Amino acid sequence: MMLIDPHAHMISRTTDDYVAMADAGIVALIEPAFWVGQPRTFVGTYVDYLSTIVGWERFRAGQFGIRHYCTVGLNSKEANNEELAEGVMDWLPRFALKEGVVAIGEIGYDEQTALEDRYFRLQLELAKELNLPVMIHTPHRDKKRGTSRSMDVCEEHGLDPGMVIVDHNNEETVAETLQRGFWAGFSIYPSTKMGNARMVEILRQYGGERIIVDSACDWGISDCLGVAKTAQLALDRGIPKQTVHMVCYQNALDAYGQSGQMQEADWLDPPAIDQRTLFEGNSILRGGREPHIEAPGDRRRTDHMID
């Protein structure tokens, strides 16, 4: 089964992870611009970070047969550093039209401060001007209110909910997100967000429409196989294959494909120029074998000290 991980911070991950993801069936992933753990104190480091996710990381993923897309934006934590935030806002329009940029994101609220609100709104306006989808990071603390408020602000700025992916949903937020017409993302990140057994129960209750599963894997304890393992568990527990296909592949493609920068042909039939520059070709599909899902431990060879 072909899978897409529409939220993965690969800049924080190893080559082992890329190999495991490709083996598990991930054909494409989206790397949202985010807080890298260490606060940035110069605009220049933020600019180089954005260059990295549109450039080097995209190339690196291609070496493993995975197509890499990204979203660009000023995250909510760093929106609280006004000097940095102003600088980043000056540069953002230069990055929003780069190859493979599929949305403005991840943006939204962290502590729901006035500065977070200001830069969230400015970026919603930028997305509207450039006709790009938006990826919203909903806060970990005061989540339910923060999620409602994020959607209120989108509506206030006249965004079409069909262009907005509200991410990091849980059992408490999903009903409202879907009812208001937004895409509902779920990050399989057990300690703070969502576990895959809980995810399967949500699929049982809500079906697959407008639901998107991602791993949100980053520098914390997280699993780059979050999407693959959830797909497997859902199938094992009797969720219809069609539903699994929607939430682990098709919905992400439909939502972010609205940018015009992401299409199935990118991995099924990559243009020659992409193969020469960015993408080494998809060994999984070329080989014609079924991708398999494995636990990270399984791929660690015991004799890896000897060539």
Binding site for another protein (CB under 8 A): 47-48, 50-51, 54-56, 58-59, 91, 94-100, 260, 271-274, 276-278
**CA nearest to 211, candidates 174, 236, 160:** 174
Tell me if 127 sits within 8 A of 102, measured CB to CB.
Answer: no
Q: In the complex with another protein, which residue's Cβ is closer, 99 or 269?
A: 99
Q: How far is the CB of 250 from another protein (least distance, A)?
A: 24
**CA nearest to 117, candidates 79, 73, 147, 70:** 79
Buried b (16+ CB within 10 A) or exposed e, 19-55: ebbbbbbbbbbbbbbbbbeeebeebeebbebbebbbb
Q: How far is the CB of 275 from another protein (least distance, A)?
A: 10
Q: How far is the CB of 129 from another protein (least distance, A)?
A: 12
Would strands 3-5 and 164-167 be described as parallel, antiparallel, or unpaired?
unpaired
Q: In the complex with another protein, which residue's Cβ is closer, 92 or 246?
A: 92
25 HSE (CA, 13 A, CB side): 20
Q: In the complex with another protein, which residue's Cβ is closer, 49 or 206?
A: 49
Q: How far is the CB of 54 from another protein (least distance, A)?
A: 5
Q: How far is the CB of 285 from another protein (least distance, A)?
A: 21
Kindly give, in sequence order, each residue whose CB lies less than 8 Å from that of residue 17, ignoring residues fewer than 6 positions away. 10, 217, 224
Q: How far is the CB of 274 from another protein (least distance, A)?
A: 8
Q: In the complex with another protein, which residue's Cβ is closer, 54 or 234?
A: 54
What are the two backbone dihedrals, phi and then psi, of residue 185, each rounded to the nearest 5 degrees?
-90, 145
Q: Which of helix, strand or coil describes residue 292? A: coil
Q: In the complex with another protein, which residue's Cβ is closer, 35 or 91?
A: 91
Q: How far is the CB of 32 from another protein (least distance, A)?
A: 17
Q: In the complex with another protein, which residue's Cβ is closer, 42 or 56?
A: 56
Q: Which long-range contacts (CB under 8 A, 24 or more apart) does 172-176 make?
A: 172/143, 172/144, 173/138, 173/143, 173/144, 173/147, 174/202, 174/206, 174/211, 175/206, 176/147, 176/148, 176/151
Q: In the complex with another protein, which residue's Cβ is closer, 71 or 251?
A: 71
For tokens 């703070």, name the residue: 192
